[in-house]
Amino acid sequence: MTEKVLVENPKYSKEQIEELFKSTFGHIVIVWLPWDREDTFGHTDGIVKFIGSSQFGRPNVLVNLELYEDDIANQMYESLAKYFKVVELKLSEYDELSWAYINSLQTLDFIIVPGIGNEVTDAEALEQYRKLFPEYKDNIYQVQMRDFIKENGGALNCLTWTIK
């Protein structure tokens, strides 16, 4: 969760917000990430994606921290590394929309990775998903959605999080 939640809920302390979540969901650990104020939405689904667990049960997450200033990226990494094995998405170049690669859609049967219209980085992101999720074999796809992302500020996870 980003610290934007604290800004948007000034009547509640961090501890009170954590208690609200714990009373609803049971024993959980909330990992607080700094909010980059240039990121209007401040949602974590453009920062971090769960990609499974290691053989020892430690959760693995995919991140794209190259998009952030070093101090914020380092704070994010340190916060995440306390609880997760952090895997960085590696791209040969970065674009204002490179965060969207993290904002993919994963179902039981397939994964769809957003494309941002850059042939090189689209292919790099798709290949990394295929390596990270070998159990999906030929069921990882990419859909081009640069214009949609620019217009709406979200990608596939954002589009589908309310679908039952």
For range 148-161, the mean pLDDT: 75
Output phi, psi for 148, to 5 deg. -65, -45
Residues 51-81 have pLDDT tens digits of 988 777 889 999 999 988 999 999 999 999 9
Phi, psi of 106 (to 5 degrees): -125, 125
Radius of gyration in angstroms for the set of CA atoms belonging to the chain, rounded to a whole number: 16
- pLDDT score of 43 more than 70: yes
Q: How far apart are CA 72 and CA 13, in angstroms?
A: 22
Query: What residue type is assigned to position 39 of the chain?
Result: D
Using the predicted structure, report yes or no on whether residue 102 has a pLDDT greater than 80. Answer: yes
Q: Where are the domains of the chain?
A: 1-88, 93-164
Q: Look up the pTM and report it.
A: 0.85
pLDDT band at 161 (very low <50, low <70, confident <90, very high): low
Residue ranges of alpha helices (H) inside 27-118 are 70-81
Q: Quick one: how many helices (H) and strands (E) in the chain?
A: 6, 6
Contact (Cβ atoms closer than 8 angstroms) between residue 90 and residue 103? no
Nearest by Cα to 102 from 41, 32, 38, 154: 154
> Of all helices (H) and strands (E), which one includes residue 141?
strand 140-144
Is the pLDDT score of 23 beyond 90? yes
Res 96: pLDDT: 87
